[in-house]
Amino acid sequence: LKSVVATRETMRKQRLNNGSKVVAIVGYTNAGKSTLLNALTHSDVLEEDMLFATLDPTTRSYELENGQKILFTDTVGFINKLPHHLIQAFRSTLEEARYADMILHVVDCSNEHYETHMNVVYETLKNLEVMDKPVLTVFNKVDRLQVEGKSVDPLLFKDARSKDVQLLSAKRQQGFDELLQKIEKILNEDFVRIEKTFSYQEAGKIQIIREYGRLDTEEYREDGIYVEAAVPAAYVGKVMG
């Protein structure tokens, strides 16, 4: 476990250095987190219908439609009344959520106890002190509720604690386009659009944009470097000053 924690800490520092936004995938055990990660990123994370199939968080990169590169991180499934002697061990695997920019909360909406499972997840996030992160709740396995091909009414599933919700089927890859659009929207809520011609002496400011924002246009002209970009509000002063 100590080796896993040390490796994970190194990976966290690397992710912070490259400026990629991190989306932590959390949820009650067997909610379909790994299936969702595999389908979104075309990877092969272990999928098993058993407790703790994903003990060591797995991270995969993904490029959104706007060209923004993000990282999805899968975490161990939460369970109710985790035995005391396991709390500390699993706490270290769940702490990926503390370093994420947003939380993707995956819920098995076909499970009759899904509301209880949601409460367990939020209580765990509260204990990890990550309730300040924006949450997007994904009601997964909706295909199990579809009757004769009819769509499930999205108004049936709500989560007042999240910024938005999305019904989907990770197994059938239904609802992915809408999910990715909502992720992009949430991750860029604090971004500010800028348009400026930087002098060549200010090239370092463009590097800040690359690391922490999104560089949409970069043109080298006689009078400098013309840039169109989206920058986190916290970095606007450094870039434009």
Q: DSSP letter at 215?
A: E
Low-confidence ranges of the chain (pLDDT < 50): 1, 3-4, 6-7, 10, 17, 47-56
Q: Are residues 170 and 226 in the same domain?
A: no
What range defines the domain where residue 199 resides?
Answer: 191-240
Q: Are residues 173 and 212 in the same domain?
A: no
User: pLDDT value at position 199?
Assistant: 96
User: pLDDT value at position 8?
Assistant: 52
User: pLDDT value at position 53?
Assistant: 40
User: pLDDT value at position 73?
Assistant: 87
Q: Are residues 109 and 31 in the same domain?
A: yes
Task: Specify the pTM.
Answer: 0.76
CATH code at 166?
3.40.50.300
Q: Are residues 62 and 165 in the same domain?
A: yes
Beta-bridged to residue 13, according to DSSP, are none
Distance CA 41, CA 19 (A): 19
User: pLDDT value at position 220?
Assistant: 96
Q: Are residues 66 and 180 in the same domain?
A: yes
Q: Are residues 85 and 202 in the same domain?
A: no
H, E, C per residue of 5-73: HHHHHHHHHHHHHHCCEEEEEEEECCCCHHHHHHHHHCCCCCCCCCCCCCCCCEEEEEECCCCCEEEEE
Number of domains in the chain: 2
- Contact yes or no for 177/204 (Cβ under 8 A): no
Q: Are residues 9 and 113 in the same domain?
A: yes
Q: Are residues 94 and 47 in the same domain?
A: yes
Question: Per the structure block, which two tokens stand in for 24?
Answer: 């932590």
> What are the helix and strand counts (H, E) for the chain?
7, 9
User: pLDDT value at position 212?
Assistant: 81
User: pLDDT value at position 61?
Assistant: 86
Q: Are residues 80 and 149 in the same domain?
A: yes
